[in-house]
Chain A
Amino acid sequence: MARYVLRVNGQDREVDAEPGDSLLSVLRYDFGLTGSRFGCGEGQCGACSVLLDGAAARSCVTRVGSVGAKSITTIEGLAGAAGSKDKASADKASLHPVQQAFLETEAFQCGYCTSGMIIATVGLLKTNPNPSEQDIARLMERSVCRCGTYPRIVKAVRLAAERMRMNNIVAGRTR
């Protein structure tokens, strides 16, 4: 057992764990960040996805001992107050553009895959800000929506991409 300090959603958090313990178990059971879901434990479904230094990773097969100083972002940390446990303040906060796009296109049914899909999308758009539908299907292939809302998720990703590009253009002009 060793003590680890993990940078989670902008805060340093301490945990005692074995190096081989899954990051997902630490997030869910030690830090109470249950928005990252357990789906398969094999790294095959993507429900547990988190961002490690901005890149999507499957936390169920990520060992705590391998995280080091990488910054971890979970669904709760994606848009600051929107992930707060306090419902009143969370409901007033604005969402990350990807969350907003999923909400508007209602790109979910049971919602169990949604956290992971949103995280995967944020990671995808970082490296590929203007993906085609084929790009999205190829790059999201390892994330499973068992309810089959894939066509809507593709729409949500495109909508988010478009808005984020617009935001970047506006930000570029005002810089």
Chain B
Amino acid sequence: MSDPSSPSHPSLPALEVERYEFSEPRRYVFELERREFMRLFGAGIVVAVAAADALAQESGRQRPQGRGDTPDLAAWIHIDENGHAFVNTGKVEIGQNIRTSLSQTVADELRLPMTLVTLVMADTDKTPFDQGTFGSMTTPRMAPQLAKAAATAREMLIDLAANRWQTDRATLTARDGKVVTRDGRTLSYADLTKGQALTGTIASPPVDLPSDWHVRGTAPPKVDGRDFVTGRHQYTPDITRPGLVYGRLVRPDSYGASLVSVDDARAKAMPGVTVVRDGDFLAVVAPTERAAVRAAGVVQARWTAPSSQPSSATVFEYFKKNPDRAGQTPAIESIQIPAGARTFDASYRIPYIAHVPLEPRAAVAEWEGDKLTVWTGTQRPFRVRTELDEAFHVPEERVRVIVPDMGSGYGGKHTGDAAIEAARLAKAVGKPVKLVWTRAEEFTWAYFRPAGVIDIKSAVDTNGHIVAWAFDNWNSGGAGLQTPYDIPSKSQVFHATKSPLRQGSYRALAATANNYAREMHMDEMARALGVDAVEFRNRHLKDDRLRAVLAAVAGKIGWPKPSAAGRALGIACGTEKAGYVATAAEVSRPSTGSGFKLERIVIGFECGAIVNPDGLKNQVEGSVVQALGGALFEAIDFADGRIRNGTMEEYRVPRFQDVPIIETVLIDRKDIPSAGAGESSMICVAPAIGSAVRAFGKVETALPVRLISA
């Protein structure tokens, strides 16, 4: 049996950022960089992105590669003179509870109480390189890395003790922060290291199998929970620095707009106010936050924007007409449909949706000479460091990015926009600058989960088996594109297209869209054939893990019988990022009015060996609630380069009364390596609801779920 804690997780693909996560390019090219571009390439129309890329190549800067698994133990763990372990990881705590779950891993392997383990996270000066916190990679990749580091340290401590006692190391064990002999003598880790670094290389030490876990597999409370209930925790907007001043952007009035003219006389007349203009970048800096708001409010800027930009109504046609790369053969042209098979066609439309993290994008930037330090909320501190390097021509060694545990991101904070803006302002005024985006800026100037169109053509033979499956996805993304069902002729193609709105990653990314379309289509075929939806899926499922979660959920919700007359059930299943999920929904018809009411969700989830059952339950419930937004009401409304529902009032996110009864069934597979769990559990919520609602009438082939005729 292979070592389940090994980072070479058999069921995980090699880390592919592009496949799982879209990344938007940096927004700004400042004057400094434009001059550099002109010097290198001469005058001409400079496309911002092209300039940034070309400069990076021209200057020969290499993207850091492979530093994420440095074998140097001291880079990962230090035990101080009190026997307290400090553990470094470039991962970011965004509410997914990894500060606690990774502490469990280290405590377990190092045989230390959790109170003696402290994680130092997401500080580019202190932690080993990390690509970022996305793709549910922390548990399957970082946890095994820290487990190996901790186990290496533990074995070194045993070596030190054996050396000290001049005894056979095989007679020694480590437990509770001490090395212990068979006759009960002890040496504490503090005594052994005296605070000196344990130096050496992370080897392949014996790492516990999940069946031997003591701290993992239990549910200790969040390590710093008290800081949150007392308000003491400092997020980026709470960071202060001596001499801090405050920035505020003056934003264009629509996407793609260029700055024509500025009248900043009134702002400049305010005490201590500086107006900064660099190309289309326009902002104020003031001695107080309120003065910055007032100063930005009196800057008169005129913008000019391109006309006839696509709208939320026309964008689906736009995608099909605007491929980003040519030559993709549509799936529908690649399948063979046997004669006599019954075919099913549908086209599903997915709108853009917003992340709406409650902590807006924010940064505090400080220059000391040519060294730049930025505190900012991002899921990719090392990438933001690179962005800062490119924007300001400061070598990465002189840029430090620190991410305080975040008011979350949900995939929405992969870029360094606020960091770059704050750093530009701090450079202009020679003082540390804080910048906190407004909610309106969040809705307009961040990025969205991609909208998309998904066309499906399928064929079923006379025995009720699916024999052909063509799945063409425009723009939503490739995550979750592949069907888990066994179908002889199938083709599934992601067509990258141009996007009128800035778009990027989102929790579970395209897996939600792809599973919605696929599972709604499965349901439609089952209904048309008069076959039970669970039986129809099982007929095409070979994967026992997926069958197991489907069976667990069907059993728990009482499939196929709803709990009361007049109600209806729907069910869906899927697999994503090595997690297996099934979700069932129960809906009712309201006594007055039209539409439907969601009464109950049952979700079954299996992600291998469970590290923290309570943390997992919290994540699974939370992702169900977040998924309710996209399933029931979230959609960005836009036209003419403007967002038309960009406020918390107009853009509804799930609230208390939207939440139905949620029952979770967590399957713990101690024999399977742990997969990440922060994302996959949301992917089947929408199709479970959508297929349930079909009992009441025709449901639109779009998100959010709409009953269009009863």
Q: Shortest Cβ distance from A27 into chain B, in angstroms?
A: 11
> Which of B288, B358, B436, B648 is the most central at the interface, judged by chain A CB atoms within 10 Å of its CB?
B358
0 or 1 for each of A90-110: is its CB under 8 Å from B? (1 = yes): 110001000110111010111
> Does B289 lie at the interface of the complex (its beta carbon under 8 Å from any beta carbon of A)?
yes
Contact between A112 and B226, CB atoms less than 8 A apart: no
Contact between A82 and B230, CB atoms less than 8 A apart: yes
Contact between A109 and B96, CB atoms less than 8 A apart: yes
Contact between B618 and A110, CB atoms less than 8 A apart: no
> Does B238 lie at the interface of the complex (its beta carbon under 8 Å from any beta carbon of A)?
yes
Q: Shortest Cβ distance from B114 into chain A, in angstroms?
A: 15
Chief secondary structure at chain B's binding surface: loop
Q: Which of B198-206, B257-265, B650-658 contacts A (4 or more CB under 8 A)?
A: B650-658
Contact between B359 and A148, CB atoms less than 8 A apart: no
- What residues of chain B lie closer than 8 Å to A25, measured between beta carbons? 289-290
Contact between B654 and A148, CB atoms less than 8 A apart: yes
Contact between B621 and A106, CB atoms less than 8 A apart: no
- What residues of chain B lie closer than 8 Å to A41, measured between beta carbons? 438-439
Q: How far does the alpha carbon of A173 sit from the alpha carbon of B94 in the complex, in Å? A: 45
How many residues of A are in contact with the other chain, CB < 8 A?
63
- What residues of chain A lie closer than 8 Å to B222, measured between beta carbons? 106, 108
> Does A125 lie at the interface of the complex (its beta carbon under 8 Å from any beta carbon of B)?
no
> Does B622 lie at the interface of the complex (its beta carbon under 8 Å from any beta carbon of A)?
yes
Contact between A148 and B358, CB atoms less than 8 A apart: no
- Contacts known (A75-B230, A90-B230, A91-B226); A148 close to B625, Cβ less than 8 A: yes
Interface contact tally, CB-CB below 8 A:
175
0 or 1 for each of A31-49: is its CB under 8 Å from B? (1 = yes): 0111111111110110100
- What residues of chain B lie closer than 8 Å to A136, measured between beta carbons? 656
> Does A67 lie at the interface of the complex (its beta carbon under 8 Å from any beta carbon of B)?
no
Contact between A102 and B230, CB atoms less than 8 A apart: no
Contact between A146 and B231, CB atoms less than 8 A apart: no
> Does B47 lie at the interface of the complex (its beta carbon under 8 Å from any beta carbon of A)?
no
- Contacts known (A37-B359, A147-B626); A108 close to B656, Cβ less than 8 A: no
0 or 1 for each of B283-319: is its CB under 8 Å from A? (1 = yes): 0000011100000000000000000000000000000
Contact between A106 and B95, CB atoms less than 8 A apart: no
> Does A149 lie at the interface of the complex (its beta carbon under 8 Å from any beta carbon of B)?
yes
Contact between B407 and A103, CB atoms less than 8 A apart: no
> Does B624 lie at the interface of the complex (its beta carbon under 8 Å from any beta carbon of A)?
yes
> Does B6 lie at the interface of the complex (its beta carbon under 8 Å from any beta carbon of A)?
no
Contact between B408 and A112, CB atoms less than 8 A apart: yes
**Which residues of chain A from 132 to 162 have any CB-CB distance to chain B below 8 Å in the complex?**
136-138, 140-144, 146-154
Contact between A109 and B97, CB atoms less than 8 A apart: yes
- What residues of chain A lie closer than 8 Å to B438, measured between beta carbons? 41
Option from A21, A39, A144 in Cβ contact (under 8 Å) with B655: A144
- What residues of chain B lie closer than 8 Å to A47, measured between beta carbons? 358
Q: How far does the alpha carbon of A44 sit from the alpha carbon of B201 in the complex, in Å? A: 52
- What residues of chain A lie closer than 8 Å to B408, measured between beta carbons? 109-110, 112, 146-147
Option from B237, B290, B649 in Cβ contact (under 8 Å) with A18: B290
- What residues of chain B lie closer than 8 Å to A140, measured between beta carbons? 656
> Does B614 lie at the interface of the complex (its beta carbon under 8 Å from any beta carbon of A)?
yes
- What residues of chain B lie closer than 8 Å to A74, measured between beta carbons? 231
Option from A32, A99, A111, A148 in Cβ contact (under 8 Å) with B622: A148
**Which residues of chain B from 322 to 376 have any CB-CB distance to chain A below 8 Å in the complex?**
356-360
- What residues of chain B lie closer than 8 Å to A147, measured between beta carbons? 95, 408, 622, 625-626
Q: Shortest Cβ distance from B228 into chain A, in angstroms?
A: 3
Q: How far does the alpha carbon of A90 sit from the alpha carbon of B628 in the complex, in Å? A: 38
Contact between A34 and B647, CB atoms less than 8 A apart: no
Contact between B230 and A83, CB atoms less than 8 A apart: yes
Q: Which residue of A lies closest to B221 (CB)?
A: A106
Option from B221, B231, B358 in Cβ contact (under 8 Å) with A83: B231
Option from A100, A112, A149 in Cβ contact (under 8 Å) with B621: A149
Q: Which residue of B lies closest to A109 (CB)?
A: B95
Contact between A146 and B290, CB atoms less than 8 A apart: no
0 or 1 for each of B38-66: is its CB under 8 Å from A? (1 = yes): 00000000000000000000000000000
* A42-B439, A149-B618 given; 11 more Cβ-contact pairs under 8 Å: A37-B358, A39-B439, A39-B648, A106-B221, A114-B229, A114-B231, A146-B357, A146-B626, A148-B621, A148-B626, A150-B659
What residues of chain B have their CB less than 8 Å away from a CB belonging to chain A? 94-97, 221-222, 225-235, 237-238, 240, 288-290, 356-360, 405-408, 410, 436, 438-439, 614, 618-619, 621-626, 628, 647-649, 653-657, 659, 662
Ranked nearest first, the 8 interchain pairs of A and B with the lowest CB-CB distance are A35-B231, A148-B625, A110-B95, A112-B407, A111-B228, A75-B231, A109-B95, A44-B648
